Amino acid sequence: MSGPPFSENERKLLLCLLRFYREIGPGATPALKGLDEEAGLERWELSDAVAVLRAKGLIEYWELQPAVRLTPEGLRAVLRLQEEGRG
């Protein structure tokens, strides 16, 4: 992969956020509550994945909701990840 390597949990979260992006649009900002189940992660796995992807600048995080959203860089990364998974 030409981009940064991702753990399995990070991949799951990125792909889940891509589904929200495609269904709702670029403004899709799912709340963290329930996102663990949606992504197929344990709560602590979600927290770890959010922290790593946020540090890489691939997602934005809102503490007040709390919620997350793909950044433009995150969208490009997950689209590359999805393309590689098809090959």
Closest CA to 4 of 82, 78, 60, 85: 78
pLDDT score recorded for residue 86: 65
**Beta-sheet strands, E only, within the chain:** 59-62, 67-70
Asked if residue 2 belongs to a domain, the reply is no
* 36, 22 Cβ separation under 8 angstroms: no
pLDDT score recorded for residue 52: 96
> For residue 51, how far is the Cα from the chain centroid?
11
Asked if residue 3 belongs to a domain, the reply is no
**Which tens digits make up the pLDDT trace of 19-78?**
999 999 988 899 999 999 999 999 999 999 999 999 999 999 998 889 999 999 999 999
Give the CATH number, domain containing residue 60: 1.10.10.10
What total number of domains does the chain contain?
A: 1
Using CA atoms, how far apart are residues 76 and 78, in angstroms rounded to an integer?
Answer: 6
pLDDT-based confidence at residue 87 (cuts at 50, 70, 90): very low
pLDDT score recorded for residue 33: 93
pLDDT-based confidence at residue 15 (cuts at 50, 70, 90): very high
Asked if residue 75 belongs to a domain, the reply is yes
Domain containing 40 equals: 8-82
